Structure 1
């Protein structure tokens, strides 16, 4: 009983300390939340579930998840520094707008206007941009930006699309002549992905509710309350698992009648190795393909980036890995 009480008090103290230190460790996020382009926010009941939403200044509508108790405390403590259109219920959603819509994982050529140290409070992708790639000259860096710059009409595959914020942004950037396929296995995330695509009338986006792997079939998918869901149990450390259908990237392109793809973003929490093993035909056939891959997870005890780099090189791709393990790959022209 005494141990449980001490643990509870320690937990409360830890949360108080985290809240106190938040502006020092997350100064860049607070700044982004003060300028986040939200014109309106609120809650709607969607399929019987209270769901927060925001309307951006450009008219884009995005639905997301409710905040944690800690995020609610952040809102009330720093409310005066935030965009006045935000509410307690929409703070987490606004954070995701910053992390996934304004600076999506699929756009490594875009870097937040902060030092790398200040960006550590964001996702690993936000400290693994082209500006952060070590060991290359400035001219090489400029060339990389040109290579990964978005082009109207490109076809894009979003593997691990989560709620679809990056999908929505890419659909806008690439235009109606593009073809976009967004894949998400988690049922709750897929529901939000589908809602966000429909709410913004994105006729050029197709959705797939499956997990990407090296084979077609069924597999255990380990889930959490947040976005850390994966086919790889050692990444998630969750006792909760559901059975989901799996599909290869080669199979997805075949299903949609696509011979090749221009751009692929893969963030599937350790299953990136399996995804690449199931896209051999796509890697070989796509002459203009550029890939951005989350390579910092572990797969059978090794970093994903160390496994997939030689695999990609075997198909003729140039590969660069960041300090954390983010991978950029393309075919030299």
Structure 2
């Protein structure tokens, strides 16, 4: 009887250890004095080896003093009042990166004696969920801002049209510009939504990239000439055909060339090139425009992001074009990069694999 009970207890202990050692949640059991009696590998991975002995050291992992105070109060309330506590906070993880976690303190009684009371600590990584929440909040805020701007323009223009109907042609031209901006914004939002949901199917076929580049060049050369710009085209001959969605890749090239023309001052040059490099077809646009600051450069492919110099210029844009460029290029197995010096210009380079 005793032997059977011992086997059962051993089996139960092994099962519990298997669960604790393989769960992704960080779990630890601490005594009322703060000493940690046991913890699982996920706890060590999340908080570090130095936290694995005393529960109070959790306070050193949080990102702000305010959150440290919140954790301290929650822990004391759990120990003193035997009330479970649950909080969301940010910590600096063992690898140095910030993590959002759902942290729970649960009072436990190991025996009927007060001395054996303790705290079960459970922490769940919710970084991905919080990133989505922050992105949704920023996306909505930015979309509202970008929609509000042309709507305000429409409202003001309609008011001016009523006040001075003799300038009807001028007002209609301005109204058309605002409507066009709204249409472009909605088209970009629709494209991003389709990309996010995987609904933008690529119609892949073997294509000569130079044909697409030539069409884009023919479209924007007159625009550049009207601004006194030199739009130069240098296409490598005999490029191998590659599998692309010609319509979507043309959209990528149009966006990059249009940006160069829009943000390059008059009487400056823009160079469009194609070539081959390391089993990739290369498309690049180099301009002598206003350039991008080192602070802005890492963010230019983010949605709704507009560099400081772009916001201060009179050029309009949705802040979504480069995000769409990045999504389309990556869907083709390629990459897009940017190099820039403030006041000297920028170079955007698209790399598309010859073999997918």
TM-score (norm 2): 0.22
> Whose helix fraction is larger, Structure 1's or Structure 2's?
2
> Larger radius of gyration, structure 1 or 2?
2
**Higher relative contact order (CA closer than 8 Å, sequence separation 6+):** 1
